């Protein structure tokens, strides 16, 4: 069986802890590799190496760092299929979805090519007699990224691109379930010209996460995962004086107004609810049709579309709609939540439980499930299911539907389908959610904006990628300079001396 490695100082390094985690193929249920779990001592060695390498990297001018990003982007593009294969093998995504995972990360690297413009400071000439003021953006030093299983390429790229091009060194701790993509990305970054030691990939579990949070040299931590863990990491990082941006769970609603194109709304719900087996923090998991007539017509359209979905392993071809969920435990949790919905009175319109695929009987497959008549007190509404389950909560008015979203603990993404511009504009203005789609089901912003939720979906002041990422991974230094040509000597005892 393959034994994976860490990536330290520009080479693969075997673990020394003697502790391992199994990496599985979710489609077969088989263990395909063993992953070493690092010790705090191994992390410390990687951090000290990164700290040393960061000095020279930070001294490299931004334009040259951007050229590395340019070469990195081309290498990612050239190796798209190989990266997608790794994503699919360890995560279970279909190959088209895996390519999309890589592509959305690549787009952030493309924005990083423009880093010199993002990193420039400001200048004020003659702010006072002989006084100039200017600011500069400087890297933090060594930073860390802790990334989830559901996007093995995209989110590591979201973290590493802005951090590295800003002049930092990064310790990347990918999910132990999907580690191979991060190692391959590190190799490609090296080929692009990234100096050894500037990017370190250290595998581990909670022990290594805590070591990162407590390490005095690590200046900032970026995390994506569940809300309880995001809150834990944010609190511990802040206690230790680190910057932190921590993104957690979601319960994303889509409103369907009576004037909406219901065929397009149904197509959007099927794609946004069941793509990637629902394992997306931006998945639409709650449909909110306004009015019973709208709800009945929507359900009528959804059922045949959902029943036609093809579930299977990525190796079955590109006509597979989605693959397995990540683990047996995830599969069992999804089944339990579906059972709770039935027990609590929701109507299970399409039942995806018990799906078995010939030749892949041990895979972690869940068929698509659709609920109607879900209420906000039910467990399937309150929990983030993170699986191929769509719940329908009927609302009797626009205000009722809006309040449902507003009252929810999560605020990652939301959408509305309507033909009325006033309703759409009102919704976008009033809803307390970080990313809003209008006739657009998964409103993940393009890479030159920033990604981030509200409420319990995010902890920290700055979002991922785009302008916020460059603010997060740099600190501002402001210089006030005076040259004494033509300035009379004298003692200044108050701020008016600058006037």
CATH code assigned at 296: 3.40.309.10
| Better-predicted residue by pLDDT, 492 or 319 | 319
Query: Tell me, what's the pLDDT at 484?
Result: 76
Does 95 score more than 90 pLDDT?
yes
Mean pLDDT check: name the lowest of 77-81, 411-415, 428-432, 479-483: 479-483
Residues 104 and 235 placed together within one structural domain of the fold: yes
- In sequence order, the 6+-apart residues with CB closer than 8 A to the CB of 86 are 152, 180, 181, 184
Query: Given phi > 0 = left and psi -120 to 50 = alpha, else beta, which region is 130?
Result: left
% of the chain surpassing 70 pLDDT: 97
CATH number at residue 96: 3.40.605.10
Query: Tell me, what's the pLDDT at 497?
Result: 52
Does 496 score more than 70 pLDDT?
no
Residues 319 and 195 placed together within one structural domain of the fold: no
What does the buried/exposed string (b/e) look like for 80-113 if buried means 16 or more CB atoms within 10 Å of the residue's CB? Answer: beebbbbbbbbbbbbbbbbbbbbbbbbbbbbbbb
Count how many Cα atoms sit within 13 Å of the Cα of residue 273 in the half-sphere of its side chain. Answer: 26
3-state secondary structure at position 11 = strand
Nearest-CA neighbor of 241 among 264, 218, 261? 218
3-state secondary structure at position 265 = helix
Residue numbers annotated as active site: 281
Does 6 score more than 70 pLDDT?
yes
**Tokens at residue 16, please?**
């020394």
Q: Establish if 451 belongs to a structural domain.
A: no
Bridging pattern class, strands 142-146 and 218-224: parallel
Residues 105 and 209 placed together within one structural domain of the fold: yes
CB 5 within 8 A of CB 13: yes
pTM, to two decimals? 0.95
**Tokens at residue 136, please?**
């500069």
Residues 295 and 180 placed together within one structural domain of the fold: no
Q: Establish if 375 belongs to a structural domain.
A: yes
Distances (CA, A) of 53 to 141, 170, 186, 262: 10, 10, 15, 56
Enclosing domain of residue 221: 2-248+457-479
The C-alpha angle 314, 336, 24, rounded to 5 degrees, equals 35
Residues 189 and 259 placed together within one structural domain of the fold: no
3-state secondary structure at position 445 = coil
Does 455 score more than 80 pLDDT?
yes
56-82 pLDDT, tens digit per residue, is 999 999 999 999 999 999 999 999 999
Q: Establish if 416 belongs to a structural domain.
A: yes
Nearest-CA neighbor of 138 among 59, 70, 217? 59
Q: What's the pLDDT band for 488 if we cut at 50, 70, 90?
A: low
Query: Tell me, what's the pLDDT at 490?
Result: 62
- What is the rounded distance in angstroms from the CA atom of residue 150 to the CA atom of residue 87? 9
Q: Establish if 234 belongs to a structural domain.
A: yes
Residues 145 and 272 placed together within one structural domain of the fold: no
Task: Tell how far CA 447 is from the center of its chain.
Answer: 12
3-state secondary structure at position 490 = coil
Residue count of the chain, please give it: 499
Residues 195 and 318 placed together within one structural domain of the fold: no
How many CB atoms within 10 Å of residue 205?
15
- What is the rounded distance in angstroms from the CA atom of residue 337 to the CA atom of residue 333? 6
3-state secondary structure at position 226 = coil
- What is the rounded distance in angstroms from the CA atom of residue 152 to the CA atom of residue 75? 17
- What is the rounded distance in angstroms from the CA atom of residue 479 to the CA atom of residue 98? 46
Residues 175 and 189 placed together within one structural domain of the fold: yes
Residues 168 and 315 placed together within one structural domain of the fold: no
Bridging pattern class, strands 454-455 and 410-411: antiparallel
Q: Establish if 470 belongs to a structural domain.
A: yes
CA torsion sign for 354, 359, 364, 367 is negative
Residues 346 and 366 placed together within one structural domain of the fold: yes
Q: Establish if 260 belongs to a structural domain.
A: yes
Does 8 score more than 80 pLDDT?
yes
Beta bridge partners of 370: 350, 390
Q: Establish if 447 belongs to a structural domain.
A: no
Nearest-CA neighbor of 38 among 157, 200, 216, 151? 200
The C-alpha angle 38, 148, 321, rounded to 5 degrees, equals 135
- What is the rounded distance in angstroms from the CA atom of residue 243 to the CA atom of residue 218? 9
Number of domains present in the structure of the chain: 2
Does 246 score more than 90 pLDDT?
yes
Q: Establish if 386 belongs to a structural domain.
A: yes
Residues 126 and 234 placed together within one structural domain of the fold: yes
Distances (CA, A) of 138 to 74, 141, 160, 245, 279: 27, 9, 16, 18, 36
- What is the rounded distance in angstroms from the CA atom of residue 483 to the CA atom of residue 102? 52
Residues 289 and 190 placed together within one structural domain of the fold: no
């Amino acid at each position: 069986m393959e034994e994976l490695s860490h990536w330290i100082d520009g080479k693969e390094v075997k673990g020394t802890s003697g502790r391992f985690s199994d990496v599985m193929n979710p489609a077969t249920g088989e263990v395909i590799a063993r992953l070493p779990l690092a010790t705090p001592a191994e992390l410390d060695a990687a951090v000290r190496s990164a700290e040393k390498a960061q000095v020279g990297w930070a001294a490299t001018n931004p334009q040259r760092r951007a050229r590395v990003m340019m070469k990195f982007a081309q290498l990612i593009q050239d190796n798209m299929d190989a990266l997608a294969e790794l994503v699919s093998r360890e995560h279970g995504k279909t190959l088209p979805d895996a390519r999309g995972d890589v592509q959305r990360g690549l787009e952030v690297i493309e924005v990083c090519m423009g880093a010199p413009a993002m990193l420039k400071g400001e200048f004020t000439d003659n702010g006072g007699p002989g006084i100039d003021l200017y600011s500069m953006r400087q890297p933090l030093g060594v930073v860390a990224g802790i990334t989830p299983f559901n996007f093995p390429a995209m989110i590591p790229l979201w973290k590493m691109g802005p951090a590295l091009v800003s002049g930092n060194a990064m310790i990347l701790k990918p999910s132990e379930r999907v580690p191979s993509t991060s190692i391959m990305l590190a190799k490609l970054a090296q080929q692009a010209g990234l100096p050894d030691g500037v990017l370190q990939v250290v595998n581990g579990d909670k022990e290594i996460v805590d070591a990162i949070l407590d390490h005095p040299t690590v200046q900032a931590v970026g995390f994506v995962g569940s809300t309880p863990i995001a809150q834990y990491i944010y609190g511990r990082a802040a206690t230790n004086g680190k910057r932190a941006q921590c993104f957690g769970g979601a319960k994303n609603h889509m409103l369907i107004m009576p004037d909406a194109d219901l065929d397009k709304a149904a197509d959007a719900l099927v794609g946004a609810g069941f793509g990637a087996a629902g394992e997306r923090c931006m998945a639409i998991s709650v449909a909110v049709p306004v009015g019973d007539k709208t709800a009945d017509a929507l359900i009528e359209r959804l059922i045949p579309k959902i029943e036609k979905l093809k579930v299977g392993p990525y190796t079955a071809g590109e006509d597979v709609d989605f693959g397995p969920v990540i683990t047996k435990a995830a599969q069992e949790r999804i089944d339990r939540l579906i059972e709770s919905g039935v027990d609590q009175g929701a109507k299970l319109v399409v039942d995806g439980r018990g799906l078995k695929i010939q030749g892949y009987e041990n895979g972690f497959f869940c068929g698509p499930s659709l609920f109607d008549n879900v209420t906000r007190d039910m467990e399937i509404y309150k929990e983030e299911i993170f699986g191929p389950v769509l719940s329908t909560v009927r609302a009797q008015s626009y205000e009722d539907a809006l309040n449902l979203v507003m009252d929810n603990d999560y605020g990652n993404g939301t959408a509305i389908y309507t033909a009325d511009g006033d309703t759409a504009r009102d919704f976008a203005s009033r809803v307390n959610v970080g990313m809003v789609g209008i006739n657009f089901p998964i409103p993940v912003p393009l890479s030159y904006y920033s990604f981030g939720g509200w409420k319990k979906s995010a902890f920290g002041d700055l979002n991922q990628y785009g302008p916020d990422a460059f603010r997060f991974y740099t600190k501002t230094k402001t210089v006030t300079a005076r040259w004494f040509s033509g300035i009379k000597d004298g003692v200044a005892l108050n701020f008016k001396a600058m006037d």
